[in-house]
């Protein structure tokens, strides 16, 4: 008897085969992964703002923000991590001050302000 083996790609997974070795990756985005991506985008935007505002690399800053409920929840939950990455002594929900810019992060509207600490 003949045996026919067929492989099918499952939704949410990507596989690649080379020299008899198969690697399968789970490409499903969990809420935790989406949140982590959101935090990384916030950090990237703040770093961009630091550069645009001509801050020195070692300048300590204060980050103020206002945005959608979802965005504010992420800021609140990860403020310590965000502050540590961008050298911010404070990351607070307040009227954005200093160098202010509006962003769309993962479809959420956020207005952020950065200013040198002690200014």
Does residue 55 form part of some domain? Answer: yes
In this structure, is residue 16 part of a structural domain? no
Cα–Cα distance for residue pair 61/86, rounded to 1 Å: 8
Tokens standing for 46?
């703040």
Structural domain boundaries enclosing 42? 31-116
User: What does pTM read for this prediction?
Assistant: 0.80
Q: pLDDT tens digit string along 74-106? A: 999 999 999 999 999 999 999 999 999 999 999
Quote the CA–CA distance of 34 and 38 in Å, as a whole number.
6
3: in domain? no
Is 17 contained in some domain? no
Return d(Cα 97, Cα 29) in angstroms, integer. 34
Please give the tally of structural domains in the chain.
Answer: 1
Residue 26 covered by a domain: no
What residues pair up with 23 in beta bridges, in sequence order?
A: 16
> Which bin fits 15, alpha (ψ -120 to 50), beta or left (φ > 0)?
beta
pLDDT in tens, 13-68: 888 888 888 888 888 889 999 999 999 999 999 999 999 999 999 999 999 999 99
Q: Are 106 and 44 in contact (CB under 8 A)?
A: no
């Amino acid at each position: 008897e003949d045996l026919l083996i067929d492989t099918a790609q499952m939704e949410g997974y990507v596989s690649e085969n080379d020299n008899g070795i198969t690697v399968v990756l789970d490409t499903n985005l969990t809420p935790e992964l989406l949140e982590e991506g959101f935090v990384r985008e916030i950090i990237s935007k703040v770093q961009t703002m630091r550069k645009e505002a001509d801050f020195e690399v070692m300048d300590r800053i204060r980050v103020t923000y206002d945005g959608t409920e979802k965005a504010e929840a992420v800021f609140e939950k990860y403020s310590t991590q965000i502050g540590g990455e961008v050298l911010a002594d404070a990351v607070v929900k307040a009227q954005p001050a200093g160098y202010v810019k509006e962003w769309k992060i993962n479809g959420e509207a956020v207005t952020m302000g950065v200013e040198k600490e002690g200014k």
